[in-house]
Chains A and B, each alone.
Chain A
Amino acid sequence: MAQLSVERESELKRRAARGGVLRRFAKQLDIQMMVLPGILLVLVFSYIPMYGVLMAFQDYSIFNGFLASPWVGLKHFRMFFESPEFYEVMRNTIVISLLKFFVGFPAPILLALMLNEVRNMAFKRIVQTVSYLPHFLSWVIVAGLVMSLLSVDNGSVNILMQKLNFIEEPINFLSIPNYFWTILVTTGLWKEIGFASIVYLAAIAGVDPSLYEAADMDGASKFKQIFLITLPSITPVVIIFMILAIGNLLSAGFDDILLLGVNPVLRDVADVIDTYVYRVGIQSSRFSYATAVGLFKAVISVGLLTMANYVARRSGHSLW
């Protein structure tokens, strides 16, 4: 009965709608006017560039414009795969992304678990406030701090290592390719670990306290409680964030690499897809080629995201 009346109601609504879509639209013109500017901005600044991606299949020239440039199929993709930079760019992108993922993903969870054990609220607040700080600094500032710490003439790291007799002569860390990935990963970790831990802390705070009380009664150690209660409880949040991180896996970084990898000797280890796109696209104006490289990355990223979500769905937690 109830269902029938719902159906009848919606049928009535539909009939009313048919009568006057335009009239209804006119009636709510003021709400539509609220949405209009936003939609226009989204269309212009997000959808026009999406359409512009087609230039990856053209020999785009500024003089002909997008509409008159000749179509060339997969030429630019083939050029990228056959270019001498392909191997290095792909290797750097993959290695840097994986390093960042395996260090940067678990670290905030670990930090949240540790912060959760702190009973001294003043200490906890100080640690949190300090660890959030770097998230709010620009990459330019962070790069400046790193350069200052690592600088040859009296950077603190060199001073410390000399005092501890680890090294005799100051090392110019930012001009040695072997150190670059470590510096990059450490810097990224330093910048985001605190801020990334917020969500996990909140998830931990949502765990039912009676579970811990019961575990205490049963004589479980804190360590066991973390593994048997806390971690399983926050698994859904962890998985959502893991899916998001995997979708971003090929974004090895941009600001950090561009700002810390300025030294030309680092080119071989520092160039990743995003910085390569910037270099060939913006700096050398090879628009079609750079767009093709960017599109190649976007396609793989969407593939990774879909795959990660598929795996997550099978385990019972998915993003969509």
Chain B
Amino acid sequence: MIRLGFGDRLMVITIYILLSILAFTTFYPFWNAAVISLNVGSDTAMGGVTFWPRAFTLENYAIVFNDARLLNGFWISILRTVVGTVGSIIVTAIFAYGLSRNDLMGRKFYMILCIVTMYFSGGLIPSFLLIRELGMMNSFWVFIIPSLVSVWNMIIFRTFFKELPAGLEESAKIDGCGNWGTLFRIVLPLSGPVIATLGLFTAVYHWNDWFLPSIYISNEHLLPIQTMLKQILNSNIVSEQVSQLDSAAQGQLAKMQTVTSKSLSMATMMVATLPIIMVYPFVQKYFVKGVLVGSLKG
């Protein structure tokens, strides 16, 4: 055991303090939003709600869960996340397996085609016009089809597949597996950690994306929750500007209601975040590895 000198001990103590501050400032905004979502809105408006709900209520959540529009938004988000993630992982994994095979004719050409797209892209406007030409505006498929192949994920999958022992495939061939059989019965079942990591990242992308629907979707039955939330929050900002102009009258009005737009939007935010918060700590041990494969081998 090596004893620490005074300077070292001072440094370690400073580090513990700084990291505690970091953890606190990272967690507090989230905690505070949760507290506000659990507090009576009119009470929050009187100020001073920070660490604990002062007037506890589940009313905000009751309203969120009874709002047909919001529920529809959740449903669209869930549908998009499930279909988009499963579809993307399957298509990308099959693609990557094909490209990982050394006997694939034209694999160099295919790889170059893919890698170029990581450095150049057409940008927002040409992509927008393409989607419109394809008639995918206001269609659920605009969420799914353009993101079926992720070149980034393909490269991670491919790296992983290439590192699998070659003997596995040979023995599968001897036992009479075709290429598809080898992929689905031997290779994919061995790819659990990669599938978990890339699946989580893809799911997070689909769940969190608000921009795509904001430009391609005008039918409100197809709007996912994040895009709705954006509209709610923006209208809040506007109302905050208005209330400053006429704060006396507006403030009076706000205090009359138990539920305010702020308490409601905080509750909606909590619900829109919950699925991820619940999943990611469990996948954490995988994704650390996944990030590394992606960054060092990519």
A133 neighbours in B (Cβ, 8 Å)? 26-27, 30, 277, 280
Are B123 and A295 neighbours in the complex by a CB distance under 8 Å?
A: yes
Q: Which of B12, B128, B233, B292 contacts A140 (CB 8 A)?
A: B233
How far, in Å, is A58 (CB) from chain B's closest CB?
12
A153–B44 CA distance with the chains assembled, in angstroms: 9
Are B210 and A154 neighbours in the complex by a CB distance under 8 Å?
A: no
Are B233 and A144 neighbours in the complex by a CB distance under 8 Å?
A: yes
Are A130 and B98 neighbours in the complex by a CB distance under 8 Å?
A: no
Instruction: Kindly name the residue among B114, B178, B269 whose own CB sees the greatest number of chain A CB atoms within 10 A.
Output: B269
**Beta-carbon contacts under 8 Å, B229-284 to A:** 229-230, 233-234, 236-237, 240-241, 243-244, 262, 265-266, 269, 272-273, 276-277, 280-281, 284
Are B130 and A154 neighbours in the complex by a CB distance under 8 Å?
A: no
How far, in Å, is A41 (CB) from chain B's closest CB?
4
- Would you give the 0/1 interface string for A186-220, flagging 1 where the beta carbon is closer than 8 Å to chain B? 00001001110011001000000000000010000
**Beta-carbon contacts under 8 Å, A213-232 to B:** 216, 221-223
A82 at the interface (CB under 8 A from B): no
How far, in Å, is B80 (CB) from chain A's closest CB?
13
A74 neighbours in B (Cβ, 8 Å)? none
Are A46 and B229 neighbours in the complex by a CB distance under 8 Å?
A: no
Task: Tell me the nearest residue of chain A to B46, going by C-beta.
Answer: A154
B30 neighbours in A (Cβ, 8 Å)? 133, 137, 145
- Would you give the 0/1 interface string for B89-120, flagging 1 where the beta carbon is closer than 8 Å to chain A? 00110110111010111000010011001011
A123-B16, A131-B22 known; A137-B276 Cβ under 8 A: yes
How far, in Å, is B139 (CB) from chain A's closest CB?
15
Instruction: Kindly name the residue among B44, B104, B123, B277 whose own CB sees the greatest number of chain A CB atoms within 10 A.
Output: B123
| Number of A residues, CB within 8 Å of B | 95
A contact patch SS: helix
Chain A residues with a Cβ under 8 A of chain B: 21, 24-25, 28, 30-32, 34-35, 37-39, 41-53, 55, 111, 114-115, 117-118, 123, 126-127, 129-134, 136-141, 143-149, 151-154, 156, 159, 172, 174-175, 190, 193-195, 198-199, 202, 216, 221-223, 237, 240-241, 254-255, 258-259, 262-263, 274, 277-278, 281-282, 287, 290-291, 294-295, 298, 302, 305
Chain B residues with a Cβ under 8 A of chain A: 2, 4-5, 7-8, 11-12, 15-16, 18-20, 22-23, 25-30, 32-33, 36, 44-50, 91-92, 94-95, 97-99, 101, 103-105, 110, 113-114, 117, 119-130, 145-146, 148-149, 151, 154, 178-180, 183, 204, 207-211, 215, 226-227, 229-230, 233-234, 236-237, 240-241, 243-244, 262, 265-266, 269, 272-273, 276-277, 280-281, 284, 288, 291-292, 295-296
Query: Could you pull out 13 A-B pairs where Cβ atoms are within 8 angstroms?
Result: A34-B95, A38-B98, A41-B148, A42-B149, A49-B126, A49-B127, A52-B126, A129-B281, A132-B280, A144-B266, A151-B240, A259-B230, A291-B123
